[in-house]
């Protein structure tokens, strides 16, 4: 057998003779320089589909994409080789190659979605520890004023005091008269009271919003034998304009011992 070496750019028609067969340059181009054919595309499609079905992770899937659809991939090489074909053959095989590319891209997208979903579910199973306690339920917090009142009452309770509370809508009898502040007494001018618009049989208005917590001192002394050790926390009300030092309602804590 005799071998020959050809440069297809310099020799457009040249015969290479072997012992039994004679090849022309056109035959060599079809075999060596032009891998584009109907059979090669069909083989590529079958090979790509088979390999894709065996892939089980995203890393291998990326390798598959580069191998078939990348810039130097097998299908890209076929598309680049179309220029070596005749017009009719180029049209037919080019159309088939483009259809194959679309098909492989769709299969790639479906596989990516499948593997991403599977990988995400596996990560969730791995990251979640079912033995951990549940998240605590968010609840509200105490108002700062309430916190201070509780702190003060706990301090007095530790010293043996009892905590008592009374009505915020109080009788004039307990709010003033039992404290030696009868009607017409000048001390009443110290409080601008909020009276309830309800009169008794004598035309008086006996109910008001308590102006201090002192009425409970009289109530406790009426109902409790000495010794007495109590504190009275609670809201009080005054008919006053709100400013930096005044408010129409406020908290007061007083004790009786």
Q: How far apart are CA 227 and CA 27, in angstroms?
A: 125
Q: How far apart are CA 188 and CA 211, in angstroms?
A: 10
What number of residues does the chain have? 257
Cis bond before residue 207 (omega within 30° of 0): no
User: Cα–Cα distances in Å, from 14 out to 5, 8, 142?
Assistant: 11, 9, 100
Would you report the helix, strand and coil content of the chain in percent, each value rounded to 5? 50, 10, 40
What pLDDT score was predicted for residue 25?
39
Domain boundaries, the chain: 34-124, 144-256
Q: How far apart are CA 242 and CA 249, in angstroms?
A: 9
CATH architecture of 144-256: 2-Layer Sandwich (3.30)
The 10 Å Cβ neighbour count of residue 77 is 14
Ordered mean pLDDT values, 10 residues apiece, the chain (257 residues): 39 38 38 53 85 86 87 80 76 82 88 76 58 85 93 94 92 90 78 81 79 92 91 91 86 91
Tell me which residue of 27, 33, 25 sits closest to 6, measured CA to CA: 25
What pLDDT score was predicted for residue 127?
62
Q: How far apart are CA 164 and CA 184, in angstroms?
A: 30
What pLDDT score was predicted for residue 120?
53
- The model carries a pTM of 0.45
What pLDDT score was predicted for residue 145?
92
């Amino acid at each position: 057998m005799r071998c020959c070496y050809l440069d297809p750019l310099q020799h457009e028609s040249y015969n290479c003779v072997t012992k039994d067969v004679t090849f022309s340059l056109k035959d060599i181009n079809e075999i060596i320089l032009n891998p584009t054919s109907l059979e090669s595309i069909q083989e590529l499609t079958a090979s790509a589909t088979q390999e894709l079905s065996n892939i089980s992770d995203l890393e291998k899937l990326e390798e598959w994409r580069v191998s078939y659809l990348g810039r130097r991939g097998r299908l890209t090489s076929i598309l680049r080789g179309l220029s070596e074909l005749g017009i009719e053959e180029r049209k037919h095989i080019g159309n088939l190659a483009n259809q194959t590319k679309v098909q492989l891209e769709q299969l790639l997208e479906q596989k990516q979605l499948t593997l991403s979903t599977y990988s995400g579910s596996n990560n969730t199973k791995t990251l979640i520890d079912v033995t951990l306690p549940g998240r605590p339920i968010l609840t509200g917090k105490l108002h700062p004023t309430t916190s201070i009142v509780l702190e003060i009452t706990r301090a007095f309770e530790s010293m043996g005091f009892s905590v008592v509370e009374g009505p915020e809508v109080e009788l004039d009898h307990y709010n003033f008269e039992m404290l030696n502040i009868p009607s017409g007494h000048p001390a009443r001018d110290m409080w601008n009271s909020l009276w309830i618009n309800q009169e008794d049989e004598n035309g008086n208005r006996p109910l008001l919003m308590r102006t201090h917590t002192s009425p409970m001192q009289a109530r406790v002394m009426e109902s409790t034998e000495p010794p007495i050790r109590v504190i009275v926390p609670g809201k009080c009300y005054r008919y006053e304009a709100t400013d930096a030092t005044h408010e129409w309602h406020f908290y007061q804590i007083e004790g009786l011992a």
